């Protein structure tokens, strides 16, 4: 079982050289976020992740959460770890200072978030959901709701959840049946059942603040008739103290493939007369408000993909260095060597390493763009950066999580038969990763959002602007006069052309044949991810080459950056043409069979 080591050096490189930390530090509210402060935060987060959370990852997987008579007990060590987590102020890192937060930029919080998720994904899900609930209440809650809930949620004293899914509804939120009946005093009684509620019940805190989708009696049908309500586990008195137990109860927890230590709850609202809640914002705009929370969660789930990929890579790398088996290819009669010397093991490790670095880079660049979208004084800049964020959120979520499954599977493969044995720990990363492509909307839901709202409705403006930035990097690579960089330029240029072709097809097809366009949605999402990753790996290679030429002593790290970018160009970016072909030509083969022919 390998130990987790936070990839601080790579995080620093990505934040400074690709995401533009120096520019983020100039934004209003970020002036005191010095580079030294960022480094100190990363260092302290690394200590907490490696010293407190990582040792609980395996035991949490084995012990799991337990349900008994409506109460949920978390795995051994969870309560103490959560206490330390909140006392250290980690929940408050990116939150508004008006409610006790530290107000740090999303770029910094993203790096810290990766550490939590890589060291112990099951633990990280609790503060992740709380963060999304905080964001929704910040933007749409009343002053009374903010004052009542936010200080204790920001401090971590209370946690938050998102309650969307119902047994009959699944991802079809138009089918939500939970009802909310007005009581005439500004409160509502809720009745219904929600499933798959992460940390919907636990023993970590005294209260849990549920954000719940439900229908008012006069609500229109479909998604336009859904409202959002705050329903706490315990009612809150006027003085902020806890009052009576609310009528929301956990009737069971799910038995899952992975993330065993994260309680996934079935919650019943109103079995004993109605769960008391208050309306968030305006009636029938609940889905709109919940999407605030969902977008936060989608980015965070994308970070789960990055984190689990890195954890699986570290695990496989440690095993490949230690496991001695076979002689080195081409060395007749040579000694037995660690399997890292075997070409195919090196290929697998490089696939894991290069894609993880590309995913991390993209997530950090999107995080920095979010900071600009929220904080920049120029409205035009805010709009432009928000359009980029909106375009890339489904890619960060869908591409990173799909990759994490493949990368974790490669980790098992590197271990050989031992990878299939639970004691080695490689299998846990694969099991934990498997949920990430389903969480907060499946990959197809992300992809349909990408081609519909983010490309077709936008008429391709944002994605074409991004392709323009990529073409500029191609020019820089060619102008550098390095053969290795020129080879990367060739692959990136071909990748940009592939995305361009796919975009033109979608723009021409989406309005007249949505089924044909939708067949290519997931391949298009993967295509954008692969090429965006190639763009950032190419930028990494440019920066590293220039720093080496200027005499940097960090030769191992920078040299590895150049080589890893070249590998990505040859082994990953080269897939772009095939993905574009699937987008443009793939509809007939998917749609022509009659149902009974399957």
Segments of 239-392 assigned E as strands: 242-245, 248-253, 264-269, 275-280, 324-327, 336-338
What is the percent of the chain where pLDDT is above 90?
A: 94
Residue 397, CA atoms < 13 Å, CB-side half-sphere: 30
CB 310 within 8 A of CB 406: no
The model's confidence at residue 24, banded by pLDDT at 50, 70 and 90, is very high
Among 410, 320, 318, which Cα is nearest to 356's? 410
CA atoms within 13 A on the CB side of 437: 18
pLDDT of residue 296: 84
- Tens of pLDDT along 474-520? 999 999 989 999 999 999 999 999 999 999 999 999 999 999 999 99
d(CA 192, CA 202): 20
Using CA atoms, how far apart are residues 385 and 400, in angstroms rounded to an integer? 21
| pLDDT value for 481 | 87
Least Cα distance to 396 among 506, 295, 293 occurs for: 295
Q: Tell me the sheet residues that pair with 272.
A: none
Share of the chain above pLDDT 70, in %: 99
pLDDT in the model for residue 171: 67
- The answer to whether 275 touches 136, Cβ cutoff 8 Å, is no
Among 290, 528, 584, 493, CA closest to 393 = 528
Give the DSSP letter of residue 220: P
Q: Which among 89, 4, 111 has a CA at the least distance from the CA of 55?
A: 4
State the Cα–Cα distance between residues 422 and 418, nearest whole angstrom.
8
Reported as a single tens digit per residue, the pLDDT across 253-265 is 999 999 999 999 9
- Which of these, 167, 166, 79, lies nearest to 126 by C-alpha position? 79
Determine the 3-state secondary structure of 171 from DSSP: coil
Length of the chain: 598
- Angle at the Cα of 236 from the Cα atoms of 230 and 238, rounded to 5 degrees: 120
Reported confidence tier of residue 1, pLDDT bands at 50, 70, 90: low
Distance CA 383, CA 378 (A): 9
Annotate 145-157 with b (16+ C-beta within 10 A) or e (fewer).
bbebbbbbbbbbe
Q: DSSP H helical segments within 461-520, as ranges?
A: 461-479, 483-509, 514-519
pLDDT tens, position by position, 296-320: 889 999 999 999 999 999 999 999 9
State yes or no: pLDDT of 216 exceeds 80.
yes
Are the C-beta atoms of 447 and 528 separated by less than 8 Å? no
Strand, coil or helix: 375:
helix
- Answer yes or no: is pLDDT of 175 > 90: no
Given 440, 469, 493, 504, the catalytic residue: 440
Q: Give the residue-averaged pLDDT of 262-271.
A: 97
How many angstroms separate the CA atoms of 462 and 446, rounded?
Answer: 17
Choose between 206 and 173: higher pLDDT.
206
Contact 376, 550 (CB under 8 A): no
Decide: helix, strand or coil at residue 201.
Answer: coil
Q: Is the alpha carbon torsion for 578, 580, 584, 590 positive or negative?
A: positive
pLDDT per residue over 108-123, tens digit each?
999 999 999 999 999 9
Residues 241, 503: Cα–Cα separation, whole Å: 55
Mean pLDDT of 335-356: 98
Once rounded to an integer, what is the mean pLDDT over residues 144-156? 97
> What pLDDT does residue 295 have?
83
Active site (annotated) includes residue 440: yes
What is residue 300's predicted lDDT score, i.e. its pLDDT? 96
- How much is the mean pLDDT over the chain? 96
The string of pLDDT tens digits covering residues 233-256 is 999 999 999 999 999 999 999 999
Q: In Å, what is the CA distance from 70 to each residue of 158, 250, 253, 463? A: 19, 5, 9, 48
Mean pLDDT, rounded, for 314-341: 95
Tell me how far apart the alpha carbons of residues 181 and 187 are, in angstroms, rounded to a whole number: 9
């Amino acid at each position: 079982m390998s130990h987790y080591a936070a990839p601080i050096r790579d995080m620093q490189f990505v934040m400074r050289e690709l995401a533009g930390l120096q520019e983020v530090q100039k934004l209003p509210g970020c002036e005191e976020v010095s580079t030294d402060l960022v480094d100190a935060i990363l260092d302290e987060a690394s200590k907490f992740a490696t010293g407190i959370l990582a040792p609980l990852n395996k035991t949490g997987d084995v012990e799991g959460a337990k349900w008994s008579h409506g109460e949920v007990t978390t795995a051994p060590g969870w309560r103490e770890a959560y206490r330390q987590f909140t006392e250290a102020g980690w929940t408050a890192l990116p939150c508004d200072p008006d409610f006790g937060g530290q107000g740090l930029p999303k770029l910094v919080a993203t790096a810290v978030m990766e550490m939590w998720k890589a060291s112990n994904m099951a633990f990280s899900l609790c503060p992740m959901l709380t963060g999304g609930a905080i964001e929704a209440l910040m933007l749409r809650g009343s002053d009374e709701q903010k004052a009542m809930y936010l200080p204790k949620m920001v401090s971590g004293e209370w946690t938050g959840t998102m309650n969307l899914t119902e047994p009959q509804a699944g991802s079809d939120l138009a089918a939500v049946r939970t009802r909310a009946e007005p009581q005439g005093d500004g409160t509502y009684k809720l009745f219904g059942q929600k499933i798959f509620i992460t940390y919907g019940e636990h023993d970590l805190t005294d209260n849990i603040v549920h954000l719940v989708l439900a229908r008012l009696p006069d609500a229109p049908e479909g998604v336009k008739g859904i409202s959002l309500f705050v329903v706490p586990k315990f009612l809150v008195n006027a003085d902020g103290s806890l009052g009576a137990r609310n009528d929301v109860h956990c009737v069971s927890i799910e038995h899952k493939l992975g993330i065993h230590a994260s309680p996934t709850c079935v919650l019943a609202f109103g079995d004993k007369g109605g769960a008391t809640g208050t309306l968030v914002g305006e009636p029938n705009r609940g889905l709109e408000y919940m999407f605030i929370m969902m977008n936060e969660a989608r980015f965070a789930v994308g970070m789960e993909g990055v984190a689990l990929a890195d954890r699986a890579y570290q695990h496989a790398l440690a095993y490949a260095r230690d496991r001695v088996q076979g002689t080195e290819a081409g060395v007749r009669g040579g000694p037995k060597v660690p399997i890292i010397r075997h070409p195919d093991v090196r290929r697998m490790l490089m696939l894991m390493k290069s894609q993880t670095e590309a995913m991390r880079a993209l997530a950090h660049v999107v995080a920095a763009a979010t900071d600009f979208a929220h904080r920049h004084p120029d409205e035009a800049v805010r709009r432009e950066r928000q359009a980029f964020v909106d375009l890339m959120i489904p890619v960060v979520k869908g591409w990173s999580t799909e990759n994490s499954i493949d990368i974790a599977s490669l980790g098992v493969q590197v271990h050989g038969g031992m990878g299939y044995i639970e004691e080695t720990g490689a299998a846990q990363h694969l099991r934990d990763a498997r949920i990430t492509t389903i969480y907060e909307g499946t990959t197809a839901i992300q992809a349909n959002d990408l081609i519909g709202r983010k490309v077709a409705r936008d008429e391709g403006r944002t994605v074409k602007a991004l392709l323009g930035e990529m073409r500029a990097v191609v020019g820089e690579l060619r102008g550098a006069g390095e053969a290795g960089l020129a080879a990367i330029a060739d692959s990136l240029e071909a990748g940009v052309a592939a995305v361009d072709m796919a975009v033109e097809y979608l723009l021409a097809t989406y309005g007249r044949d949505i089924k044909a366009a939708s067949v290519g949605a997931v391949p298009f999402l993967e295509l954008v991810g692969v090429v965006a990753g190639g763009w950032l790996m190419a930028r990494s290679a440019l920066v590293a080459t220039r720093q080496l030429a200027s005499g940097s002593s960090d030769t191992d790290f920078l040299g590895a950056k150049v080589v890893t970018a070249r590998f990505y160009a040859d082994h990953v970016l080269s897939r772009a043409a095939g993905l574009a072909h699937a987008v443009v030509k793939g509809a007939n083969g998917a749609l022509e069979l009659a149902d009974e022919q399957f």
